[in-house]
Chains A and B, each alone.
Chain A
């Protein structure tokens, strides 16, 4: 697992579903977590990226990685980490498959009417 030291403190960072957990490197319990919804991942200078949230855009959580390559990996992974991103992908694929086959691919799973798989307008 990549270590991502912040400017002052070295932390072990783990991405689990749409949460970014951070640990003091030798402990089992995380110190804290960031929910990764409505956030912006910005590539800063070399080896550094930051996370900021829509409701507080000036506040940046900065992370420095060991290598530039690792930094790029993290930026990419974090940008796709939100539930809302996953939802959009699903809707996109669903539409593509429907266009190609004329069939809704979710029908066979019995979930085509589920609110969570509809475009914004149809949900509660």
Chain B
């Protein structure tokens, strides 16, 4: 099953590549980086996987306090969607349905397809969440507790998409969309929702700041990256020190 809060490693890709007896993915990746995208020995699947993980990485990584470029985000998400489409058309033929999510929501497609990649080569123990950052402290979650209720499902399904459907959210009324998704495995831990609250929220609010999104607490969107969430405590001390001095 999906693990929680663990960054996906290359292990899935490793399993995949060990089958045809190809080289270790780490080297492959370096070859890619050095030799360019048209390495003839690299299969389209490997390149696709690399591009996919880069996409997600880029969408999730951002600097606190700096507004993201909308053009860049849109291009990344379109690329992600294109890969998603391709994986969907490739992957459904080879994957066993029982490990696929029952939800046919478009947001969950990416998750589904990644599971299909893993299940074709991996043991079941390798089902790890995609690119999950370390869980944030509970502080940001408590700030937004009331607004997170409709979101945890959407968030966990779409987090690997980071920027796709979840990132486009402009209002919070998502209950009706995600009703049919079996969410039992996602609501199992407080940690997951806390992490989801901590990590997706800054992503969505930074990616697509919408002038209509007045409901979002300004304080939370300023929390910025996870690192800054974790450093909140340090900051508080620092702030108190400054305030006391002045």
Partners in one complex: no
Point out residues on A near B: beta carbons under 8 Å.
Answer: none
